[in-house]
Structure 1
């Protein structure tokens, strides 16, 4: 199962990390798409191993641990991953105290296993730090203005709270989970409207004045930025994301790219 991360930027940076496409609804910007294979099924695997096969236990374990997980980083690949291109395997590290000094001075130690709460947080933080790090490389702004979460995990408040902390922005959810079919319907309506007008028109014209009464409306699920310590936490995640990408590159060099 492949899941995708989409973002919008006006300063794209083409790379091997993701796909950069023209934005069909805003010609002045570009879409960035990142593709992953280890999403919900990998979370379920860690849940079954360390959380008694219960999402309630999983969420409790996640909330027992502090953000940044004491420097514990996990790379969990139940299937061959697309980004980064790594084979099946679990890799765990503990990073020394993070400072604003040179990244090379921050050392990591490999571990065989963490305690259950740390395993859960290492998985969730790791997935989101990977998304953030590779999104930045493609030109997406960090922190972004907002994140719109869709899919099954968008109903999990503990996971959304971690998402907001890692990216440093508020997280919203939509009324309906089938965002792909909704997006396809909107694009069809937008294309029809452009043809009818004989020129490109903003997609907002499709639902002008009525989004609050349709499935397009969003709900703020997790705020960010209004509490003391939010900026400091974001800065620490920035350092940890950089360290994660460094370790990730070492893993790619060690195990080679999946053919």
Structure 2
């Protein structure tokens, strides 16, 4: 068929994925490359190298170059006509940084289509051959230094949308400068994974994306500019060093739908792309995920995956050290709120396995006993509404809150006072099944409510990830978060790459609003083409006033329980 096509990529931790859609949002082709399998010669495990002694996690940049070449060849062999692709966008794993050499600009602009990206750019185009990964925890000293400089975690959140975190790029750049001063001096440009990827497509350095730049702890979200004090602290505390780092960073594109330019001749000659193919800014993987559906203000996405992640589209900029706020990737006046927990499926599965072992379960569904216990255990573990059971389960050290691993069980009453639960008061492991879900959902509600002003409730909750197929998970999520219009399962695979493809389509086809210097919003554009009945299914009614208020009554006690867990683990 002679139709225009739109390409979206997702350069994630373990693989690179691509989806191609047409103007009706129909999937034309998709493909992926797994780093550990398809680029096995690099020797990564789950896409990264890990230095346990130094808490470092990083990935070889050259591996990504090779993977992109493999992926494009896979798409070509599938019969995809690259000449039909009119626009390309993408997503990159957030917070990772790439350090370009002083030869990089020349190399990018003069690529030979007869040779691979890997052979021409690696290692010469990079002053550092590795990219720190979002799982990296090596920057404790740098985070403490920056937090002291700026005046504490709340001040950092007010300016940058987040307190200082190990994985955020500002602390990572500071550590790179301290650990590798010669390589830092040899660096001409610093990119995130997102605009590194865009730079490859353009054949020149791409600007930062308006949303992904917020994951650096360097960008002043309210004033929409680099915070020069923070840049100065990272650069070395002199005006000259600050200016040097500002030059290495470059600028940020404020329009998430603006074309950054046309595709590099390298891809035109090597793969047959049209020379008129446009490149749109590449954002982070989480911002791209919220573009996979027309997410309205006060809608929420919860991902039940290896980690548990909550994403909110909100008009409220109310920063806190407890969560992240980013500029919305496409819409001015909106923000993306994010909560990310290490202990997602691991904590749930640990309790599930303990329950199955205790009951000598031998059935085919490993969640059968767990789900039955959730359904048969009353709200907060008690039919007496004046008494409640609260548990905290961290098999791994947690990000939110910042707490070491451990398990804590408490009892509380109407006064909100906490006492340690005894074996006689807590039926282990049966009570733990409901308590782990309540614990994870209460933590999300506690932190999401300020972003959901004034009611504290979301409009809709969309669930994704492997756990979204478990109705017990969805039902309890609906009871605790209380979405006014219910809980919906999003029936999509590769949501992140798909969001990028949707953004590419919007960029090229969005209409200018009459008598205004603006374009139709991404959400309105997508909603006009979105076939809701085929994309989502309602799995829970959501808001039930009595039970929602019951859970609300223990939020203060739950916050105290977290504080006790934090203090007991120090």
Q: Does 1:233 find its partner at 2:547?
A: yes
State the shift of 1:195 in Å: 9.9
Given that 1:152 and 1:177 are in contact with CA atoms closer than 8 Å, whether structure 2 keeps it comes out as no
1:65 to 371, 377, 380: 377
After the TM superposition, which of the residue ranges 246-255 and 64-73 deviates more from structure 2? 246-255
Q: How does 1:109-258 map to 2 (within 5 A)?
A: 109-111=419-421, 114-115=426-427, 116-138=429-451, 142-169=456-483, 170-193=486-509, 199-204=518-523, 206-212=525-531, 217-225=535-543, 230-256=544-570
Pair 13,208 (structure 1): closer, same or farther in 2 beyond 3 Å: closer
Take 2:493 and 2:557, find their aligned partners in 1: how far apart are those partners? 34
Structure of greater relative contact order (alpha carbons < 8 Å, 6+ residues apart): 1
2:416 to 106, 116, 119: 106
Pair 165,194 (structure 1): closer, same or farther in 2 beyond 3 Å: same
Given that 1:150 and 1:179 are in contact with CA atoms closer than 8 Å, whether structure 2 keeps it comes out as no
Given that 2:389 and 2:410 are in contact with CA atoms closer than 8 Å, whether structure 1 keeps it comes out as yes
| CA RMSD after TM alignment | 2.4
1:118 match: secondary structure? helix
Given that 1:74 and 1:91 are in contact with CA atoms closer than 8 Å, whether structure 2 keeps it comes out as yes
State the shift of 1:199 in Å: 4.8
Take 1:8 and 1:15, find their aligned partners in 2: how far apart are those partners? 16
Take 1:219 and 1:195, find their aligned partners in 2: how far apart are those partners? 30
Determine the structure 2 residue equivalent to 1:102: none
Determine the structure 2 residue equivalent to 1:13: 318
Take 1:112 and 1:37, find their aligned partners in 2: how far apart are those partners? 27
Given that 1:80 and 1:88 are in contact with CA atoms closer than 8 Å, whether structure 2 keeps it comes out as yes
Determine the structure 1 residue equivalent to 2:409: 92
State the shift of 1:137 in Å: 4.1
Take 2:477 and 2:520, find their aligned partners in 1: how far apart are those partners? 33
Question: What are the Cα deviations for residues 161-217 of structure 1, in whole angstroms up to 9, with x where unaligned?
Answer: 0000001121111112432232232233333445999953311454354311786x2
After the TM superposition, which of the residue ranges 69-78 and 195-204 deviates more from structure 2? 195-204
Gaps of 5+ in 1: 99-104
TM-score (norm 2): 0.40
Q: Does 1:43 find its partner at 2:364?
A: no
Question: What are the Cα deviations for residues 4-36 of structure 1, in whole angstroms up to 9, with x where unaligned?
Answer: 210122122111111111112321221101111
After the TM superposition, which of the residue ranges 177-186 and 128-137 deviates more from structure 2? 177-186
Aligned length: 244
Question: What are the Cα deviations for residues 191-248 of structure 1, in whole angstroms up to 9, with x where unaligned?
Answer: 3445999953311454354311786x221110134xxxx2121111111122101221
1:51 match: secondary structure? helix
Gaps of 5+ in 2: 1-305, 383-387
Take 1:154 and 1:17, find their aligned partners in 2: how far apart are those partners? 25
After the TM superposition, which of the residue ranges 31-40 and 199-208 deviates more from structure 2? 199-208
Take 1:139 and 1:45, find their aligned partners in 2: how far apart are those partners? 32
Take 1:246 and 1:190, find their aligned partners in 2: how far apart are those partners? 46
Given that 1:36 and 1:82 are in contact with CA atoms closer than 8 Å, whether structure 2 keeps it comes out as yes
Take 2:556 and 2:317, find their aligned partners in 1: how far apart are those partners? 20
Pair 242,88 (structure 1): closer, same or farther in 2 beyond 3 Å: same
Given that 2:512 and 2:520 are in contact with CA atoms closer than 8 Å, whether structure 1 keeps it comes out as no
TM-score (norm 1): 0.84
1:47 match: secondary structure? helix
Q: Does 1:78 find its partner at 2:395?
A: yes
Give runs of ≥4 in structure 1 deviating > 3 Å.
137-141, 191-200, 204-210
2:552 match: secondary structure? helix
Determine the structure 2 residue equivalent to 1:101: none
